[in-house]
Amino acid sequence: MAILRVKDVSKRFGGLKALTDVNLNVEENSVHAIIGPNGAGKSTLLNCLVGKLMPDTGSVLFNNNSVLGLEPFQINQMGISRVFQTPEIFGELTVMENMLIPIFAMRDGAFRMHAYETIANEREVVEQAEAMLEEMNMADKREMNAASLSRGDKRRLEIGMCLSQNPRLLLLDEPTAGMARADTNNTIDLLKQIKDERDITIAIIEHDMHVVFSLAERITVLAQGTPLVEDTPENIRGNPKVREAYLGETAA
Amino acid sequence: MLGLNKKDTSLLIVVALLTLFAPFILNPFPEGSAMAQFNAGYPDLMQRFVIFGIFAIGFNILFGLTGYLSFGHAAFLGVGSYSAVWMFKLLSYNVIPAIALSVVVAGLFSLLIGFVSLRRSGIYFSILTLAFAQMSFALAYSVLSNPKFNLTNGETGLQVYADDPQILQGANSPDLPHLFGLPMRATYTMDVGAWSFDFNAGYYLCAVIMMVVFYLAIRIFRSPFGMMLRAVKSNQQRMNYTGLNSKPYTLAAFVISGMYAGLAGGLMAAMDPLAGAERMQWTASGEVVLMTILGGTGTLIGPVLGAGFIKYFENIFSKINDNVLHSWFAFLPDGMEDAVVFLIHPFIGKGWHLTLGILFMLVVIYLPGGLVEGGQRLLKRLKRKKTDADDAPSGKTEPAE
């Protein structure tokens, strides 16, 4: 069953057609990669899924509910978590606080005036956050300011924050962009581990073919705002159309 | 204690002791001595310390936690004062209903202004709040003061007149603000040798209220709600993508800080039953921004320190005049004495704002964390010296052997 259905989505910016009739189904508990050359419309598509942009036409259904016209926080509350290209974390807060916030958001919803309680007394939330930090191997960094973490650790933290909400769908926007090889491999291992251990659907936008082919079960190739082909990694590798549009020498 | 951790509890106790013993602490110099002009232990000034402390504590909940810089908080202070004086006029001189109404009205007013202003962030938010505050000032100064509908009494300021209803005013209760019969102006003066200490009822009412709202501010800072407010300041994008709606959080912070401002305004009127439009002017809004930044934005104790610092120096510097300067520098040769006085003259008396400006610049440039950061650095240096001193003796004995 498809957990995310994108149907005939089009988006124009003035005279520029960013997306034209995009149709895409992401199957539940799969890892689906969306690739394409620069300017293919990958980021525009992602922004249409999370409420940042409103498509001109078409529909986006998550779990058979439309997400169009909803605010990002409402879409998150439906079970979609997003990891950004540059890690978006609460830099001035400690690692522990970064982990507490999404768990509070899950428990209490989009707003709650819990101004008189003390965080330390919220045992359950604190325990969940500690467990998640443990799982991310970051327990020793819990009192550090998140801004002072290394790039790879920031990414780990951001992924951990998203996972702590037990999302149905995890959206990753070029999660290894600008990373050193070692950090990239760590991130790949982390995502593989997440995929194996959890009931979660992962949709990933990526430039790095190494990452895509190590993780993806299905790949959609976008070119000039429209899906060129959707297939398994093996078939994508051999597809001449894809080579021509995108992979070029990198696949050789 | 009281649901606070050890550090916060000791902070609260220190603040409580300082405010309770302020009449002693602020009057270290004997009456009539040359240094007596540096004393600050008289009721009027002590009241201002704590009232502006309350104002700044509240402002810091908005600015320090969420980073939204409001330039219109004086409007809430003014609204609080007007509400309190109206309570005096209509009900009685008892301060409790007056203070209660000032908090409620300021809360409602800030809900309205916050709802509109918080549609924008950053500089646009600041300008919107400034515009609202100036509109409120104009309303209070002229629009709402006409013979048909006189809500604010314009230029003269709102005050209590003999023909006001005061329906609950008892026959025997004092004819000035009081707490169940205890006049706010009641002062007990204790003379110890050459020293003289004033214990004022109004000051202690303000001090107790400040301690309560300071405690509430600590609770807010340490609560999940306070953490969300810091998240607003840190990264709103991540917040929205984490399933949190940042708008009600900022609005709640805005209303809370508006209520703190209203409380301060109500207390001002309770100490002196008069409310004027100038309390709402933008300079008054700017002052609380200075207090918060000078003391330490986002710290618990900073705003209180900043408020005390500014109010103390405002008082001291504006009191010093040329005669005082001449007496200080009398030891210099005549020509030099005149030259020194001439140089210092622009910085004292009415020119004390010049001094404040320079102090503010120095703090912002060298201590971006405000007085609190200054204190922390000083403590660190002392600690280092202490450990150095502990090491020193062994270092000295070794060569002797």
Greatest Cα pair distance in chain B: 95
Q: Does the pLDDT of residue A73 top 90, yes or no? A: yes
> Distance of alpha carbon B137 from its chain centroid, rounded?
20
Residues 181-200 of A with CB under 8 A from B: none
Q: What is the 3 state secondary structure string of A121-147?
A: HCHHHHHHHHHHHHHCCCHHHCCCEHH
User: Residue B196: pLDDT band by 50, 70, 90 thresholds?
Assistant: confident
Flag the least confident range among A150-164, B29-43, B252-266. Answer: B29-43
pLDDT (tens digit per residue) in B6-63:
999 999 999 999 999 999 999 888 888 878 888 888 899 999 999 999 999 999 999 9
Which chain A residues touch B226 with a CB distance below 8 Å? Answer: 115
pLDDT (tens digit per residue) in B143-194:
888 888 889 988 889 999 988 888 888 777 888 899 998 999 999 998 888 8
Q: How far is CA B185 from CA A181, B179, B189, in A?
A: 73, 11, 12
User: How are beta strands A80-83 and A169-173 bridged, if at all?
Assistant: parallel
Q: Count H helices and E strands in chain A, helices first.
A: 9, 10
Q: Which residues of B284-318 are buried (b: 16+ CB within 10 A; e: fewer)?
A: bbebbbbbbbbbbbbbbbbbbbbbbbbbbebbbbe
Q: Give the chain B residue nearest A87 (alpha carbons).
A: B238
Degrees to nearest 5, angle at CA B238 with A135 and B57: 105
pLDDT computed for residue A252 by the predictor: 41
pLDDT (tens digit per residue) in A188-200:
999 999 999 999 9
Answer yes or no: do A90 and B230 touch at CB < 8 A: yes
Q: Does the pLDDT of residue B103 top 90, yes or no? A: yes
Average pLDDT, chain B: 90
Compare B297 and A38 and report the one with higher pLDDT.
B297
Domain boundaries, chain A: 2-251
Separation in Å, CA of A233 to nearest CA in chain B: 30
pLDDT (tens digit per residue) in B239-255:
999 999 999 999 999 99
Q: Give the closest residue to B85 by CA, choosing from B97, B73, B75, B67.
A: B97
Torsion of CA B298, B299, B305, B307, to 10 degrees: 20
- Residues 6 or more apart in contact with residue B312 via CB below 8 angstroms: B40, B45, B49
Half-sphere exposure at residue B217, Cβ-oriented, CA atoms within 13 angstroms: 30
Query: pTM of the predicted model, to two decimals?
Result: 0.92
Half-sphere exposure at residue A38, Cβ-oriented, CA atoms within 13 angstroms: 0
Answer yes or no: do A111 and B244 touch at CB < 8 A: yes
Residue B115, classed as helix, strand or coil, is: helix
Q: Does the pLDDT of residue B98 top 80, yes or no? A: yes
Separation in Å, CA of A121 to nearest CA in chain B: 9
Answer yes or no: do A119 and B222 touch at CB < 8 A: yes
Mean predicted confidence (pLDDT) in A217-238: 89
Residue A71, classed as helix, strand or coil, is: coil
Mean predicted confidence (pLDDT) in B66-92: 95
Answer yes or no: do A102 and B234 touch at CB < 8 A: no
Answer yes or no: do A104 and B245 touch at CB < 8 A: no
Answer yes or no: do A88 and B235 touch at CB < 8 A: yes
Mutate to test the interface with A, among B244, B254, B257, B259 (most CBs of A within 10 A): B244
pLDDT (tens digit per residue) in B104-152:
999 999 999 999 999 999 999 999 999 999 999 999 998 888 888 889 9
CA distance A109 to B226: 16
Provide the β-strand partners of residue A203.
A32, A171
Do residues B307 and B55 lie in contact, with contact meaning Cβ atoms separated by under 8 Å?
A: yes
pLDDT computed for residue B333 by the predictor: 85
Which chain A residues touch B219 with a CB distance below 8 Å? Answer: 115-116, 118
Q: Does the pLDDT of residue B392 top 80, yes or no? A: no
* % of residues, chain A, pLDDT over 70: 97
Residue B243, classed as helix, strand or coil, is: coil
Which chain B residues touch A72 with a CB distance below 8 Å? Answer: 240-241
Whats the size of chain A, residue-wise? 252
Answer yes or no: do A73 and B3 touch at CB < 8 A: no
| Residue B400 φ then ψ, to 5° | -70, -25
CB contact A173 to B (< 8 Å): no
Q: Sign of the C-alpha dihedral, residues A123, A125, A131, A137?
A: negative
Do residues A21 and A10 lie in contact, with contact meaning Cβ atoms separated by under 8 Å?
A: yes
Torsion of CA B244, B247, B249, B251, to 10 degrees: -170
pLDDT computed for residue A246 by the predictor: 65
Highest mean pLDDT among A167-181, A202-216, B23-37, B206-220: B206-220
Mean predicted confidence (pLDDT) in B267-293: 93
User: How are beta strands B158-159 and B178-179 bridged, if at all?
Assistant: unpaired
Residue B55, classed as helix, strand or coil, is: helix
Of B225, B242, B248, the CB nearest to A105: B242
Separation in Å, CA of B305 to nearest CA in chain A: 24
pLDDT (tens digit per residue) in A102-147:
999 999 999 999 999 999 899 999 999 999 999 999 999 999 999 9
Residues of B within an 8 Å Cβ radius of A = 3, 5, 219-220, 222-228, 230-231, 233-235, 237-245, 248-249, 252, 256
pLDDT computed for residue A123 by the predictor: 93
Q: Give the closest residue to B79 by CA, choosing from B54, B50, B101.
A: B101
Whats the size of chain B, residue-wise? 401
**Tokens encoding A222:** 């976008």
Half-sphere exposure at residue A207, Cβ-oriented, CA atoms within 13 angstroms: 15
- What H or E segment, with its residue span, contains residue B274? strand B274-275
Provide the β-strand partners of residue B355.
none
- Residues 6 or more apart in contact with residue A219 via CB below 8 angstroms: A32, A33, A34, A35, A212, A230, A231, A232, A233, A236
CA distance A166 to B84: 51
Angle between the N-to-C axes of helices B43-60 and B73-90, in degrees from 0 to 180, rounded to the nearest 10: 130
Which chain A residues touch B3 with a CB distance below 8 Å? Answer: 118, 121
pLDDT computed for residue B397 by the predictor: 41
Residue A92, classed as helix, strand or coil, is: coil
CB contact A94 to B (< 8 Å): no
Highest mean pLDDT among A77-86, B154-163, B332-341: A77-86
* % of residues, chain B, pLDDT over 90: 65
Answer yes or no: do B234 and A81 touch at CB < 8 A: no
CA distance B220 to A40: 47
Residue B224, classed as helix, strand or coil, is: helix
Answer yes or no: do B5 and A109 touch at CB < 8 A: no
pLDDT (tens digit per residue) in A20-61:
999 999 999 999 999 988 888 898 999 999 989 999 999 999
Q: How far is CA B135 from CA A46, A241, B83, B141, B394, in A?
A: 44, 65, 18, 10, 69
> Distance of alpha carbon B353 from its chain centroid, rounded?
17
Answer yes or no: do B245 and A110 touch at CB < 8 A: yes
Torsion of CA B315, B316, B322, B327, to 10 degrees: 150
Do residues A29 and A217 lie in contact, with contact meaning Cβ atoms separated by under 8 Å?
A: no
Domain boundaries, chain B: 42-299
* Class of the CATH domain delimited by A2-251: alpha beta
Could you identify the residue written with the tokens 């149907």? Answer: A7
Q: Does the pLDDT of residue A221 top 80, yes or no? A: yes
Which chain A residues touch B245 with a CB distance below 8 Å? Answer: 71, 73, 110-111
pLDDT computed for residue A251 by the predictor: 42
Q: Does the pLDDT of residue A163 top 70, yes or no? A: yes
pLDDT computed for residue B401 by the predictor: 36
> Distance of alpha carbon B225 from its chain centroid, rounded?
24
* Backbone Cα Rg of chain A: 19
Q: How far is CA A66 from CA A31, B95, B239, in A?
A: 22, 56, 22
Could you identify the residue written with the tokens 């005390």? Answer: B308
User: Residue B1: pLDDT band by 50, 70, 90 thresholds?
Assistant: low
Of B225, B237, B239, the CB nearest to A113: B225
Average pLDDT, chain A: 91
Question: What ranges make up the beta strands (E) of B34-186?
Answer: 158-159, 178-179, 182-183
